[in-house]
Amino acid sequence: MNWALQRDVALIPEGEWQKGAGHIAEIIAGIEADYVKARTPYAMTVEIEEDSQLLVARPVPMANAALYSTGLERVRYTMRKMRPDGVLPQSYVFAAPVFERLDDAFGQYAGNPQWMHDEFLLSAGQLRGLVERCEIQGDDRVGALSSALVNGADDIRAADDVVRASVSARMQLRIDELRVEDTQDIAEAFDAVADVSKGGMKAALIDSAKVLRAGRDAPDSARALGPADPAERLDALYSGGALVSRSWEALGELSRRLEKLGEDYDKATKVTTAIKAAGSLLAWFVRILGGG
């Protein structure tokens, strides 16, 4: 628990508390925003570098608005793009349960970062399942909503110590249960995305994969793998997973560009491999981070 942040919440004047839960949630969001800006001077985005046509991670200055509120509004915006008149078009009708879940979350739990974090990730998993089963088409609007949900969950973890601690505890439980095959699959997914990345992003993914492979010679019956320090394994999974989650939209765009050009077969093959690996990895992370 961050005591400085809790102190600032406790010092909110009594008169403000009497104005209702919605009002106080806005004040607390502002306090959290100040805390986040002090602790996190930049956010991260993954883009395609035009010259190399590879993925790179770029720092983005923090906006003045509360990071949490911005994440929520990004999801609302992408929902409106898919449901412009308040009714889902026929092509998205099978996504109705996802929208019902999100509408319920916004209506009842918008002031609860932990709940919104979990609902975002569970909704992202539902959406991805619909696309995989060909019940809806994975077009740009669906991709934008999926990215907004995963990135919104990232932002909530960055903005809230309690949520981050809860997620870390869940991840550690799942990490302790990893088999040799699981660890190897995750490391290979990091490598696949690194193959179509460059610079610091490529190095970070390769380093994360190396940490996970440190225990690759352990017997198949081993439950806990990797370095002696479990915090190092947790950090490798968390940081590598965050990069992959933010790469998803860029990977799709890169694949479309290469398909139009009809050139560089080797790179196109690597991008396809990265998309498949990233998709499997994201499903794994959604289950972990969403508590499912």
Q: Which residue did the predictor score with more confidence, 63 or 268?
A: 268
- Global confidence as pTM: 0.53
Give the model's pLDDT for residue 99: 96
Q: Is the predicted pLDDT of residue 90 greater than 90, yes or no?
A: yes
Integer distance in angstroms from the first to the last C-alpha of the chain? 24
Give the model's pLDDT for residue 43: 39
Listed in sequence order, the DSSP H helices in 47-198 are 67-82, 96-109, 113-132, 140-159, 161-176, 180-194
Structure tokens at 61: 């200055």
Query: For the packed helices 161-176 and 230-261, what is the interaxial angle rounded to 10 degrees?
Result: 90
Question: What residues contact residue 146 under an 8 Å CB cut-off, 6+ apart?
Answer: 124, 127, 128, 248
Give the model's pLDDT for residue 231: 59
As a whole number of angstroms, the distance between CA 233 and CA 231 comes to: 5
How far is CA 150 from its chain centroid?
3
Give the model's pLDDT for residue 235: 66
Share of the chain above pLDDT 90, in %: 18
pLDDT in tens, 163-222: 777 677 666 666 666 777 778 888 999 999 999 999 888 988 998 898 888 754 443 433
Q: Which residue did the predictor score with more confidence, 274 or 156?
A: 274
**What is the H or E stretch that residue 286 is in?**
helix 265-289
